[in-house]
Amino acid sequence: MEQLVHFFKDYILPQWKHNRRSITAVSAAIYVVYTVYQKINRPPKRLRHIPYINGIDTLTSFFKKIPLDKVTDEVALPLVLETDHGLYSRITPAGWQVVISDPAIAKEYLFDANTFPKVPLNKHFEGTVIGRFIIGPNILFLSGQHWKNQRKIANPAFHRSMPLQVFGKLTDKLFSVMDQSNGKSIDAYDLMERWTLDAIGNASFGFDFGAVTDSNNEWVHRYNDVVEATIDPLYAFLPVLERKYLDWFPNRKKIHDELSVFLDMIQHIIDEKRRKLADPSRDRSQETKKEKDLLQMMMESGEDENGAVLTDEELKSNMCVFFFAGHDTTTSALSFAIYYLAKHPEMQERAREEAQRVLGNEPRNIRPTVEQSREMTYIEQIIKEVLRIAGPADSLISRKANKDTELGGVFIPKGTDVTLSIYNLQRNPRVWNNPEKFDPERFAPGGEAEGKDANAWIPFSSGSRICIGMNFSLSEQRFLLPMLLRKYKWSLPKDSIHHEKIVIELGLGVISPIDFNVVFERLY
């Protein structure tokens, strides 16, 4: 009970004091405390045979923004190592869930979509920023035949040739911005965020945010404000505040208005593309796949599915989730790669020599082709090791057991939410030798990874629900990193908070570095 009092005093009450409009707010705060005590501190009785993280501790870590690696090292991994199966449970905004951190159990879970369909979160987050922006009739959250239909339509769009010309033009702009730093430290995460934002905008639906050259434009601010709002723990754990009491929270209401503008922009683009596709004078023979964005290809793919076209709402929902999942995760992956190469200058130099060998030593920007990317095997090892030790996705979207079943020999009752912690699995000392060490040689021929269970390295998930944007993200990384290595040497500034280890935070399922400044030195 003492924990509960401290939690109310330190985290709940300040939130309500900041936002209160009437005595009703105080009453609501009391209700929140009661709810915490009754439902959040311990899992339901049917799950108490599985180790669990105290609910108050979980909420405290959310509100205090305790770094994910600290929570993992001090709380989660000890529970994982407590039993042979490594399962544990924890509280989330949608309720209690069981967490998997073992590759063999991951396989049981990932390859049995019939027993473990995706958790329908639409109703829980209906009317919230998260619900309106990400959770909807899209390929990430749907299950069953509806998901299969969308996946079939979306597959051709994601298996086309990558838009390397778009990547190249954006990289030239990025380098022009970086050159203006004149050897001073700059926010590397911000740079990667702007580059990936423009890349996904152009490739998804032909919209150029102009983020690389102008970080202060209205669209960049609008998008970033919406994304930041998705991770506010108060509204994540209490979605009722947005559904019924939004007028009490003018700042939150403003975010909803910004999101409406963003969604209207996507709808306008959909309307324009539908008009052009329906134009009887359209000459398809003059169009090539390389020139088409994802939205157009999904529209056209749907035309070939016996009339099973995607609705405007489905297209808009998919564009949002492609945007969110594809932008933030790749931003973090590139940032973590920059960090580990800054911490290991000998690896950075070896990678640079490989990029120069394949792309040449001319003092100009040279864009790698797909074939040249395949030749840069050491850079590929770096990318894979970064995705292991600091994979951007913390956990997968929950799935719900639709019958009594078992995982790793442990009883899982019907109705239980289950997830896989990619972060725990890929840092599990039972799975990887010295998992805290950054070692690209794990992925060399004959290296440690070669003999592992296929589900020991799954930064993009696995099975039928493997991330549809995997190739797009990897293409971005394989393209940009060699160009960065040829153009710059980089290091951490003397006052960096990351010298001992990378300091990270967890957003809406995405891990990212905090205050990540880097000094880039031009080589040409």
Instruction: Say how far residue 193 (Cα) sits from the centre of its chain.
Output: 12
The token pair that represents 469 in the structure block: 């944007």
DSSP 509: S
What's the CA gap between 135 and 124, in Å, rounded? 10
Contact 299, 309 (CB under 8 A): yes
Tell me the residue length of the chain.
524
Please give the backbone phi and psi of residue 207, each rounded to the nearest 5 degrees, phi first.
-110, 125
Q: Is 467 annotated as a binding residue?
A: yes
Beta-ladder partners of 393: 510
What's the CA gap between 165 and 460, in Å, rounded? 25
What's the CA gap between 113 and 110, in Å, rounded? 7
- Give the strand pairing for 488-491 and 417-420: unpaired
Beta-ladder partners of 513: 504
Enumerate the H helices of 294-416 as residue ranges.
Answer: 294-303, 312-343, 345-359, 370-375, 377-389
Among 88, 93, 96, 150, smallest CA distance to 121 is for: 93
Among 424, 440, 339, 332, smallest CA distance to 384 is for: 440
- Give the strand pairing for 488-491 and 511-513: unpaired
Query: Would you tell me how many other CB atoms lie within 10 Å of the CB of residue 78?
Result: 12
Quick one: angle between helices 312-343 and 188-205, nearest 10?
150
What's the CA gap between 155 and 151, in Å, rounded? 6
The contacts of residue 186 (CB under 8 Å, 6+ apart) are 178, 517, 518, 519, 520
What's the CA gap between 113 and 109, in Å, rounded? 8
Report the amino acid identity of residue 351.
A
Q: Which residues are annotated as a binding site?
A: 467
Q: Which residues are annotated as a binding site for heme?
A: 467
